[in-house]
Amino acid sequence: MTAFDVLILGSGLAGQSLALRLADSLKVAIVTKRTLEDSASAWAQGGIAAVLDPAADSIEAHVADTLTAGAGLCSDSATRFVVENGPRVIRWLIDQGVPFSSDTSSPIGYHLTREGGHSQRRIIHAADATGAAVQATLTEQVRAHSNIAIFEQHIAVDLIVGRKIGRPEEGCLGAYVLDIANDEVRTFSASHTVLATGGTCKVYLYTTNPDTATGDGVAMAWRAGCRVANMEFIQFHPTCLYHPQAKSFLISEAVRGEGGLLRRPDGSRFMPDYDSREELAPRDVVARAIDFEMKKHGLDCVFLDISHKPADFLKEHFPNILARCLELGIDITQQPIPVVPAAHFSCGGIVTDLRARTDVSGLYAIGETACTGLHGANRLASNSLLECLVFSEAAASDILANPRSRADSLPQWDESRVTDSDEAIVISHNWDELRRFMWDYVGIVRTNKRLQRAQHRIRLLAREIEEFYSNFRVSNDLIELRNLVVTADLIVRSALKRKESRGLHFSRDYPEVLPKARNTILRPTDSSKT
């Protein structure tokens, strides 16, 4: 058994910033499926939203924009909490040495951009690769810190909770973790365990997320006894590069923020037909418009055109997008970019309070895996990294203020009744089937019939996967597939419960918005649990 004060599952911005805030006082472990650098945070392009220029912007304006995007479901207290703490956590990143893009003509010394749904320029960024710059800066410090133990190529199998081992009063005690390289399950004991495992969008066939976004935190928390909320609200990013050689390459929201126009293949614009905000409408509006245009005209993609901007401007603001498109034969200074929507962000997740605490004592959730109340029915662009930073700070404060005893002994992982699988094809087939029908039936536009078809298939797959899990040794792919099917079930159940169209959830059966906004909350004690 390996023992720590704090066990952090996940190595994105939420996990790494939490580790750095705690490591001077506590013994911290970071468990990550691949390497520290592999996370959705590192893929984030646009930037981080915060009120940094009070002469031109205000807390009230940022709060109002967030509430508007969230379509009536944002928590007022959570939204204000995040926005008010935003400037301070950005200063913390600057103090860590993050190289944000400068602007000598700006009163704050940094260039701020504007994205869809924002009334002001308030997104601080590092060119068009903000996540990579932030992640690289923090990773260097995490690797250098003597009080942070790093376990790369490790994946959590499940949380260890007291009620499952005859100690119900003890909450979360740690986790069982598969050492992928050595093919053995290790027991981690921890006073505090933190889920920072990222999102769920790998449950869809087309996604902007890395392969690691398999809903692990949500599934583990659900099995541990935590509520989940608003799982039906999956944000589909409107503009993912459409090219057979481009896997999950995002074309940043900032391209539209800086004047990019969406066009049909004949060059005509279509966003003015859908919303008065045109290309700067919130993501759900833009994604549905693109989806409608593609279905109406039988298109493989639409086009995002920013070629009317000077080439030097594009080289300065979008160097990575420019370079990647050039590699694929697309010169964005001369040509429009072929784009399609793709699953991008999970607005729902594990229910937490303003200190990042879950329903299970000793267990916290931060980042995309959590449902804090900030995003409501639709996340405002560039609020996600902000949420990671604010709630990692909140979790750190709560952990430091509430010492908790660590379990001296825990049951070891039992493999005495399982064998090695000779049927790996079952995993790959089920993985592919799940992601395809989620895309077809639980995508941008939904119907009851599609959702019921998806639910029927999920229940068949869940039984098959659980039988496989019970009889064979665990592997990385099996663990992820088991978590994906739980996540898919929660998304579909949540979608079936919502009898309206709101934010990211659009139902043809219920196209109207109900007068009162309500959260969709699922409890593991529900009799309908798959």
Please state the separation of Cα 322 from the chain's center in Å: 25
DSSP SS3 for 2:
strand
DSSP 357: B
Which option is the CATH number for 424-522: 3.20.20.370, 1.20.58.100, 2.160.10.10, 1.10.1060.10? 1.20.58.100
- For 489, the enclosing helix (H) or strand (E) is helix 476-497
Smallest CA-to-CA distance from 453 within 469, 479, 433 is with 433
Distance CA 39, CA 367 (A): 12
**pLDDT for position 528:** 45
What pLDDT, on a 0 to 100 scale, did the predictor assign at position 498?
A: 98
Q: What is the pLDDT of residues 383-393, one digit of tens each?
A: 999 999 999 99
The reply to whether 2-232+347-401 and 424-522 are identical in fold is no
Q: How many helices and strands in the chain, by DSSP H and E?
A: 14, 18
Question: What pLDDT is recorded for position 14?
Answer: 97
Given a contact cutoff of 8 angstroms between Cβ atoms, the answer to whether 128 and 249 are in contact is no
Question: Which DSSP symbol is given to 150?
Answer: E
How many Cβ atoms are within 10 Å of 283's Cβ, its own excluded?
Answer: 27
Ordered by start, the domain boundaries in the chain are 2-232+347-401, 238-343, 424-522
Using the CB atoms, write b or e for 8-19: b if 16+ within 10 Å.
Answer: bbbbbbbbbbbb
Please tell me the predicted confidence (pLDDT) of residue 530. 39
Q: Which of the listed CATH numbers 3.40.30.10, 3.40.50.720, 3.50.50.60, 3.40.50.700 matches domain 2-232+347-401? A: 3.50.50.60
Secondary-structure percent of the chain, ordered helix, strand, coil, rounded to 5: 40, 20, 40
What angle (nearest 5°) sits at the alpha carbon of residue 249, between those of residues 129 and 490? 105
- Residue keyed to tokens 């890395």: 210
| pTM, entire model | 0.91
Catalytic residues: 283
Residue 8: closest CA among 228, 226, 170, 193: 193
Residue 460: count other Cβ atoms within 10 Å of its Cβ.
Answer: 12
Q: Please calculate the CA angle 118-120-124 and round it to the nearest 5 degrees.
A: 90
How many angstroms separate the CA atoms of 466 and 425, rounded? 16
Please, which residues have CB within 8 angstroms of residue 109's CB and are 6 or more apart in sequence?
102, 103
The segments of the chain whose pLDDT lies below 70 read: 527-530
Fold (CATH) for 238-343: Flavocytochrome C3; Chain A, domain 1 (3.90.700)
